[in-house]
Amino acid sequence: MAGPPDIVHAPRPGAEGLSEPMRSRWSTSVYDDQHTLTRDEIDRLLHAAQWAPSAGNSQPWVFFVCERGSANHERLVARLSRGNSGWVPRASVVFVTAAHVSTGADEDAPAYSDYALYDVGQAAAHLTLQARSMGLHSHQFAGFDHEALAADLDLPATHVLLTGIAIGVRGDAADVDERTADRDRRIRERVGLDEVARAGTWTQAWTEGWS
């Protein structure tokens, strides 16, 4: 049984030693649907992504800004998966990310980088951490009809849609459906460093020999 939200969302073992804003970041599913962001705040989030590093400074990202109540927001909401349709629409803004993954037909079309997906993920991470440092919460998601939304947004064939990044402030769990409220109380888990870090070759776990 999950405890009250402040206990559930306290940093988990290994996260207590992190610096802010990583320490307190987690993906809430309960947003305040009255909160809005100013143009300046949205620009600051975009600037965090803009100044992320990328292979050869290729900057292979595009962000579709979907403010609640805007035409882009309507486009996105219509394409959400069932699981995401209960919580995503309440966020103040959603950035839908796209990556430049292939060269266009024109001879002088800009080249693309093999690291585009890596770079867009990193830009997204910077954006979410900037959000946290502004007192905001974020929750990334891939559950939407990518093909349909790409067509709705006139995405060129040189790009692919990747994710949405929902941003806002926490709302009241009483205002959302039970499934969404439950999701918000989930204990966050991670696999151990013994599985993800290596001290040498593949079979040598970083934590091998730890007592």
Ligand X SMILES: Cc1cc2nc3c(=O)[nH]c(=O)nc-3n(C[C@H](O)[C@H](O)[C@H](O)COP(=O)(O)O)c2cc1C
Binder to ligand X among 163, 167, 168, 180 (CB under 6 A)? 163
In 3D space, the residue among 124, 158, 154, 126 whose CA is nearest the CA of residue 141 turns out to be 124
Q: Determine the interface stretch with ligand X among 40-48, 57-65, 140-148, 200-208 (rule: CB under 6 A).
A: 140-148
148-185 burial, b at 16+ Cβ within 10 Å, e below that, comes to ebbebbebeebbbbbbbbbbbbbbebeebeeebbebbb
Q: What are phi and psi of 194, to 5 degrees?
A: -65, -25
Least distance (Å) from ligand X to the CB of residue 140? 4
Rule CB under 6 A: choose which of 66, 140, 168, 169 binds ligand X: 140
Q: Is 188 in the site for ligand X (CB under 6 A)?
A: yes
Is residue 84 close enough to count as binding ligand X by CB under 6 A? yes
Do 58 and 113 contact (CB within 8 A), yes or no? yes
Residue 12 is a binding residue for ligand X (CB under 6 A): no
Q: How many residues bind ligand X (CB under 6 A)?
A: 9
Binding site for ligand X (CB under 6 A): 26-27, 84, 140-143, 163, 188
